[in-house]
């Protein structure tokens, strides 16, 4: 038996199979159940999102031998013929190759005859926008007064090319691009049914290559299987598709955010040495920074970002240390770089200079706004007299009560261990900022050579980060250099509420910052100058922001 490509083998056969088009499926199913079936339908949307498949499913639902149903049986002769594209009363026409008025006149003659054995005679015209103006005019009268036994289903990727007189006589359904996560889930279902071995990361790369089209993603999947067989390796997928390794992208992002122009240049050379497309690399880099901007301004960025696995969590970590203004400037410069690469005679040079420019951008500060505020405050202070303060009697403090008994403190790492852990994290952050950020969230359970035991709450995605072989190897090498002896990494799971383990640096810093902000607010509220400003302007303290990092 000849090989059947995945896109045809796994073509949707029911409305429920239309991934990402639930709004279309539900409307058509309700129309069939209620008997409110229009005579003409227009399916619009990008390629490979299910327009023709939906047309065939609708045709089966209207002509199924079990009766009108939103769940065609797919076993009767009518259903099987339509599935194979050979239905006697379902005529599929390619609008691209039947564009003339004579073709439409022949269709109109065919419409006059009753269906041979089905309930309706159904005409499916794909790429209907390719019909000529005369052909549309010839079709118009038929759509205006169609016979009761005829139904029309039009499909197009360019609805703006269809005359308004045709559009007004059709029920229009807009098919959306399929979210990456849903494409990846469907690919996993297919790979399980086909007994294929492939990682979620590779499925994510294949899904991203489809760009919202299930058919394109399945065609890419076929290409990968032809190259790798039933055992698919991540490296093979990346090589075959010419896609940029996510680690390389993350290294470049880190270099830009850390203002490390040397590392940024190294990233450009790695892209060139790997033979990757420079424009594709720039596009992927732009998508990374776009995602960081969205993480900054949206509470639930997953709704706007097509990402799988832990990509979104990594992006949020990267966005924490960057300002929104800086990210917006980076996005703007990368968009200009894309245009430069199109017409540049030296695209590698253009990319190198762009990355260096991004890595040397000075932090943005709205000095004009700050100066305007200061000038406004000076004008208001000089025009209003400062109040005179009268000393107030201080009420006598009540007798001090004995302090409550102290609760037993949880065991923590010794001062020496804390300093060694802080020193190791600082060293790692200098060379691997992302890895250093991961360590900051870990609890140092053991710092005795040759074991470095780091604990994380159960379910933390950072556990998976440190379990990757290359990351583990890099961290062990850095720890060995720091301690002067061979170190082996151990990653343990701890209860997030456990009190018998030392705190992470992030937890310790948050506690110190909370206490610092409390004391800072108390000092600010009691400051005479601030009280004077409140009396002058009649304001209230809404937020206290520290400007002196040396405050203790």
What residue segments make up the domains of the chain, in order of their start?
6-174, 180-241, 246-359, 415-503, 504-552
Residue 191 is predicted with a pLDDT of 93
Torsions phi, psi for 131 (to 5 deg): -65, 150
Architecture per CATH, 180-241: Orthogonal Bundle (1.10)
Residue 1 is predicted with a pLDDT of 54
Provide the token pair at 475. Answer: 């961290």
Residue 313 is predicted with a pLDDT of 79
Does residue 45 contact residue 155 with C-beta atoms inside 8 Å? no
What single string gives the DSSP state of each residue in 151-168?
Answer: EEEEEES-GGGS-HHHHT
Residue 396 is predicted with a pLDDT of 53
Residue 407 is predicted with a pLDDT of 43
Residue 552 is predicted with a pLDDT of 43
Tens digit of pLDDT for each residue in 518-532?
787 777 777 766 666
CATH tag, 6-174: 3.40.50.300
**Rounded to 5, what percent of the chain is helix, strand, coil?**
55, 10, 35
Q: Is the pTM for the entire model greater than 0.95?
A: no
Residue 410 is predicted with a pLDDT of 39
Return d(Cα 530, Cα 158) in angstroms, integer.
63
Q: Produce one character per residue of 212-222: b if its CB has 16 or more CB atoms within 10 Å, e if not.
A: bbbbbbbbbbe
Residue 387 is predicted with a pLDDT of 47
Q: How many secondary structure helices (H) and strands (E) does the chain include?
A: 24, 8
What single string gives the DSSP state of each residue in 463-494?
Answer: HHHHHSHHHHHHHHHHHHHHHTS--EEEEEEE
Residue 142 is predicted with a pLDDT of 83
CATH topology of domain 415-503: GMP Synthetase; Chain A, domain 3 (3.30.300)
- Please say whether the structural domain 246-359 has been given the CATH code 1.10.1520.10: no
For the chain, residues with pLDDT lower than 50 are: 386-392, 394, 397, 406-413, 550-552
Shortest CA distance to 211 belongs to which of 350, 88, 306?
306
Residue 412 is predicted with a pLDDT of 41
Residue 214 is predicted with a pLDDT of 93
Residue 314 is predicted with a pLDDT of 81
Same fold, 6-174 and 180-241: no
Provide the token pair at 260. Answer: 């490390």
Indicate the Cα dihedral angle 136, 141, 146, 151, nearest 10°. Answer: 0
Instruction: Please give the DSSP secondary-structure letter assigned to residue 231.
Output: B
């Amino acid at each position: 038996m000849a090989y059947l490509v995945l896109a045809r083998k796994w073509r949707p056969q029911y409305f429920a199979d239309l991934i990402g088009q639930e709004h279309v499926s539900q409307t058509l199913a309700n129309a069939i159940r209620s008997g409110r079936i229009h005579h003409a339908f227009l399916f619009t949307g990008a390629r490979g999102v299910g327009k023709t498949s939906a047309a065939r499913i609708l045709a089966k639902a209207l002509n199924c031998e079990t009766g009108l149903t939103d769940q065609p049986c797919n076993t009767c002769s009518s259903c099987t013929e339509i599935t194979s594209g050979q239905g006697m009363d379902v005529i599929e026409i390619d609008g691209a190759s039947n564009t003339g008025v004579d073709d439409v006149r022949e269709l109109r003659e065919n419409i006059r005859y009753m269906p041979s054995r089905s309930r309706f005679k159904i005409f499916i015209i794909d790429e209907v926008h390719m019909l000529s103006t005369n052909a549309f005019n010839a079709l118009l009268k038929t759509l205006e007064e169609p016979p009761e036994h005829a139904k029309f289903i039009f499909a197009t990727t360019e609805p703006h090319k269809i005359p308004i007189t045709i559009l007004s006589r059709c029920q229009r359904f807009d098919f959306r691009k399929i979210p990456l996560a849903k494409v990846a889930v469907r690919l996993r279902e297919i790979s399980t049914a086909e007994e294929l071995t492939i990682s979620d990361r590779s499925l994510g790369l294949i899904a991203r290559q489809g760009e919202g089209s299930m058919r394109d993603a399945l065609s890419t999947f076929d290409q990968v299987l032809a190259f790798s067989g039933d055992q698919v390796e991540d490296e093979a997928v990346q090589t075959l598709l010419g896609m940029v390794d996510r680690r390389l992208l993350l290294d470049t992002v880190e270099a830009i955010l850390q203002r490390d122009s040397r590392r940024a240049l190294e990233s450009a050379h790695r892209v060139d040495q790997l033979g990757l497309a420079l424009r594709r690399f720039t596009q992927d880099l732009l998508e990374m920074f776009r995602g960081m901007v969205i993480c900054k301004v949206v509470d639930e960025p997953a709704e706007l970002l097509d990402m799988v696995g832990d990509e979104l969590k990594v992006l949020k970590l990267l966005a924490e240390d960057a300002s929104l203004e800086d990210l917006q400037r980076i996005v703007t410069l990368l968009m200009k770089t894309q245009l430069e690469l199109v017409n540049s005679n030296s695209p590698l040079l253009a990319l190198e200079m762009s990355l260096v420019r991004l890595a040397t951008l000075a932090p943005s500060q709205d000095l004009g706004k700050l100066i305007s505020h200061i000038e406004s405050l000076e004008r208001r202070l000089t025009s209003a007299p400062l109040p005179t303060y009268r000393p107030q009697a201080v009420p006598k403090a009540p007798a001090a009560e004995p302090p409550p008994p102290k609760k037993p403190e949880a065991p923590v790492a010794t001062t020496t261990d804390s300093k060694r852990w802080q020193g190791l994290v600082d060293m790692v952050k200098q060379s691997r900022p992302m890895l250093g950020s991961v360590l900051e969230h870990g609890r140092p359970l053991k710092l005795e050579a040759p074991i470095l035991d780091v604990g994380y709450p159960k379910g933390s995605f950072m556990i998976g980060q440190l379990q990757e072989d290359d990351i583990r190897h890099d961290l062990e090498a850095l720890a060995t250099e720091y301690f002067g002896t061979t170190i082996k990494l151990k990653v343990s799971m701890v209860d997030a509420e456990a009190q018998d383990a030392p705190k992470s640096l992030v937890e310790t810093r948050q506690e110190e910052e909370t206490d610092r902000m409390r004391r800072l607010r108390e000092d600010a509220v009691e400051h005479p100058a601030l009280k004077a400003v409140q009396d002058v302007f009649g304001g209230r303290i809404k937020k206290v922001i520290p400007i002196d990092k040396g405050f203790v």
